[in-house]
Amino acid sequence: MPSYQTRKYWLALVLLGIASATLLVFATTALSIYIYGNLNNIVKADAAIVLGAAVWGEQPSPVFRERINHAINLYKRGTVRNIIFTGGVGAEKALAEAIVGKRYAMDRGVKEADILIETESYTTYQNLKNAREVASKKKLRKFLIVSDPLHLKRAVLMAQDMGMEAYPSPTPTTRYRSFKSQFEFLMRETYFYFVYLVLKF
């Protein structure tokens, strides 16, 4: 019969193996999220879906502004024919994110007729679900998902799981520039990616 010390040794090995395997899966997934966010295949689509971000009063926050500017550039280059802005009212009770995005884009030459909005969502999943419903009314079927690079693997997977023909279109610039901010964003996205795989919302 194995001694207590022997059992303790094998238990430690098993726990170490489980911890190592978990860490390896997490690290591999984080790497795939990073690589995916740096892919930018040029695909023409019916619309760019701009995922919501914070607003400051009546102006987009720096993160949201980067996303809006990228969508405007896609529109002006003819890569998309429409822009769909998403996002409701945040904690500060400012204007809805989608309304701020629309006003900002119109001030920079995007036709109001080419802009769609949804103002009820608070999460990435809701952004996409509501955008799909808005798009269906105009029979838009092919989409570029516009967001920060590290956000896109999860967002595009969500959209595809909803039956949308969706492709990533990362912002060429991001407010998450320092190693610390990028690392924190990557760790958070990796966690939420696993949460989505389990819960599917």
Q: For residue 46, which of 163, 143, 155 has the smallest C-alpha distance?
A: 143
Average pLDDT rounded to a whole number, residues 178-201: 90
Please give the helix or strand (H or E) that residue 135 lies within, else none: helix 124-137
pLDDT, tens only, 40-59: 778 999 999 999 999 998 99
Q: 35-39, 105-109, 178-182, 186-190 — which is least confidently predicted?
A: 178-182
pLDDT > 70 fraction of the chain, expressed in percent and rounded: 95
State how far the Cα of 124 lies from the Cα of 80, in Å rounded to an integer: 21
Q: Which amino acid is at 1?
A: M
Kindly tell me the sign of the dihedral angle through the C-alpha atoms of 147, 150, 152, 158. negative
pLDDT at 164 over 80: yes
pLDDT at 3 over 80: no
What is the rounded average pLDDT for all residues in the chain? 91
Winning range, highest mean pLDDT, from 22-31, 56-65, 157-166 = 157-166
pLDDT at 94 over 80: no
* Half-sphere exposure in the Cβ direction for 5 (13 Å, CA): 0
pLDDT of residue 103: 98
Average pLDDT rounded to a whole number, residues 53-69: 94
pLDDT of residue 91: 63
